[in-house]
Amino acid sequence: MKKLLKNQDGNAALFAVVIVLVLALLFSVVSEYLRLQIIASGVRDALQSSVISVATENYADVYNGLREGYSGGYALNQSDRWEEQFTTGDVMANLSQTLGLVGGNKYAGDVLEYRLSDLDIQVHNTPFAPGGNAVRFESEAKITLEVPLSFGWEHLPPLRVRLKVRAGYTPKF
């Protein structure tokens, strides 16, 4: 190898080809990483927007409680007992509309770009008539994002990541 590098015959074509191939491979890896980051960021932002809509959909129920001195989603039932009253909304329909999903899948032409699955939504209500350190009304969503890699010619497994976002209602006054 040393002998080849020290050879000064003037033929650098092989060395130039190797450098170009290494740079092309490096550029492919960096661009694939950036593609995955952009997709994950876009899905996380859309999921955050959908979860915020769940928190705002519950505004009327939370506001009723706020007037009575707490910020939970509770209502009086027919037997004059307080019970939780909130909705988890339709986050997947909102995501499908925002991201242009077809059955949880996003296509770029005929090629699968990514897949969303296993949506889990939890609404954490504040305790009824909380003490000094009250917990706020929160909605939390988790979803699995699966992105097939375009680098590696399908020899590499797809990227699977579990995204988690949280939104809450905090009273201003």
Report the C-alpha gap between 13 and 6 in whole angstroms.
15
Name the domain count of the chain. Answer: 1
What is the domain range of residue 86?
12-169
Summarize pLDDT for 100-146 with one digit per residue, the tens.
Answer: 888 889 998 888 899 999 999 887 777 665 555 556 777 889 999 99
Report the C-alpha gap between 126 and 48 in whole angstroms.
21
Q: Give, rounded to a whole angstrom, the gap between the first and last alpha carbons of the chain.
A: 75
Torsion sign across C-alpha atoms 143, 53, 172, 125:
negative
Asked whether residue 7 is domain-assigned, the answer is: no
25's torsion region: left (phi>0), alpha (psi -120 to 50) or beta?
A: alpha
Asked whether residue 24 is domain-assigned, the answer is: yes
Asked whether residue 5 is domain-assigned, the answer is: no
pTM as predicted: 0.73
Mean pLDDT of 90-107: 88
> So what's the pLDDT on residue 82?
72
User: Pick from 110, 121, 101: which is nearest to 42 by CA?
Assistant: 101
Q: Which two tokens stand for residue 117?
A: 């699955």
